[in-house]
Amino acid sequence: MIFSQDYHRSVEDVQTIIKYAKLDHNNLTETAQVIYYPNAESIANMGNLKLLEVDDHILQQIKEHKSVSFKGALNEKVVICTESRTYEVKEAEISNSLLLVPQLKLAQATSRSPIKSPKGGVNTSLDSSTEEIEGTEESINEVERKYVVKICHDYYECRQVKPKYRKIIDLLRLTRYAGPENEHLVDRSLLFRFKQLLDTVQCSKDEFHEGLRKYRAIEIEDRIRMLSNEYEYRAMCLMLALMAENSWQLDEIDKAVTIEALDGIIPYEIVDRIFDVYTTKSERLEDRFRYREDLVCSLYAERLLQQGLKFQIGEFLTTWQSSLPDGFKVDEKYLRGIGIIDREGAVPCVRELKEVDLPNNLLIRLTKLFQVKAQWNLEQIEPYIECFTTPTLGVTAILAKYTRSLVVDGVRVYVSKH
């Protein structure tokens, strides 16, 4: 029963309504809840209240009093971030009006004894109605007032998405670290502390740490910085050269010796951070490390690839291998996200194509990719599309929706729809 707040229902009023509605008292509880529409003041006070539908993960984070925050600039879609996940937020309409009534009780909570049905047993529903039984004792003896605080016609739903790392690149590439001798050229007002950047980038804290590692961003003098390509390459060359000088095997790199050997050449803080990014713990020796082959090979490949130029594949692979220290072996998979191999042309070639330089809009990015190459197989195009995937929408589903697929020489390839 829903009424204006100016009207007050009594027990007698409720009993009269039950009688006219021909409800069986055996299907009712002792307490009736009368719902009142909000007045103008209540509507004004609750005007900013919104409904948000969350999954079990977000709900558990809230129950455990962990961080759950909204992120988004004026020109960005809003996301919700927990400590480990990122969700896109979208507005959805409700077909019927939804009344928000705090502390509204369910059937069992309004009865001081089990609800008996006429045929015996416990009836947990208030929805059933039967012809009134003459002489039945009236059961309603208490009326509780419940107030509608808001009438909702829409709500916000969440959909888990990949972290939006692009802002890390866009913000940090403006102040790349190129050595202490070039710091006077950097605008210090454009530098970000860890928390400032975390609050700006649309991703969770755990994903943010992974993003910094992915793009090899490090903390220098309490500011998050990316290294210039030239400086990072020079620093790594000096660090890798110590392997031969000290006759180290690939999995016996000594961090302390590395830092000490480069003292006065590269700042301690830089060597320490770069070392952590490019190495993993040795599985054979305690307190020793091993350089990550994928990161080292990718760094050297980036150095060789130049924008706008093509390299004959055989010559490129030979040059790439010869530039690496002993023990490292090139693999085409290490070009993932930084360059592509085009075997469809008259002369197979390698060219630069960095994922971080492509448009951040899916459709515009696909247009750009098909301008670079008319047809792609899944392995080639995947690193440039996977940032748009979700837990329920993979790369193949995106390609099925926005491209045409063909089978050429037994291999499935994707071409532009237009």
Contacts of 200 (CB under 8 A, 6+ apart): 71, 73, 167, 171, 192
Strand, helix or coil at 144?
strand
Q: 356 vs 139, which has greater pLDDT?
A: 356
Measured from the Cβ of residue 187, the count of other Cβ atoms closer than 10 Å reads 8
Q: What local confidence, expressed as pLDDT, does residue 147 receive? A: 81
One CATH from 2.40.10, 1.10.10, 1.10.3470, 1.10.357 for 358-418: 1.10.10
Q: Helix crossing, 395-402 with 362-372: angle to 10°?
A: 80
Given a cut of 70, whether residue 194 has pLDDT beyond it is: yes
Taking a C-beta distance cutoff of 8 angstroms, is the pair 368, 405 a contact?
A: no
pLDDT at position 345 over 80: no
Higher local confidence (pLDDT), 281 or 5 = 281
Say if residue 282's pLDDT is above 60. Answer: yes
Structure tokens at 194: 């860890």
DSSP string, 8-23: ---HHHHHHHHHHTT-
* Exposed e or buried b per residue across 336-357, where buried means at least 16 C-beta atoms within 10 angstroms of its C-beta: bbbbbbbeeeeeebbbbbebee
| H or E element in which residue 376 lies | strand 375-377
Higher pLDDT residue, 20 or 396? 396
Counting residues of the chain whose pLDDT is more than 70, the rounded percentage is 89
For 349-376, what is the mean pLDDT? 93
Q: What is the mean pLDDT of residues 7-15?
A: 77
Ordered DSSP codes for 79-126: EEE-SS-EEEEEEEEEEEEEEE-TTPPPGGGG-SS--B-TTSSB---S
- Mean pLDDT across the chain, nearest whole number? 86
Region 129-136 average pLDDT: 37
68 pLDDT tier (thresholds 50, 70, 90): very high
What pLDDT does residue 12 have? 83
From 295, 297, 301, 391, select the one nearest 340 (Cα to Cα).
Answer: 301
Measure the CA–CA gap between 34 and 40, rounded to whole angstroms.
19
Q: Is the pTM of this model over 0.85?
A: no
- C-alpha angle 308/313/316, rounded to 5°? 75
Percent of the chain with pLDDT over 90: 60
Three-state DSSP class for residue 390: strand
207-236 tens-digit pLDDT: 999 999 999 999 999 999 999 999 999 999
**pLDDT surpasses 50 at 295:** yes
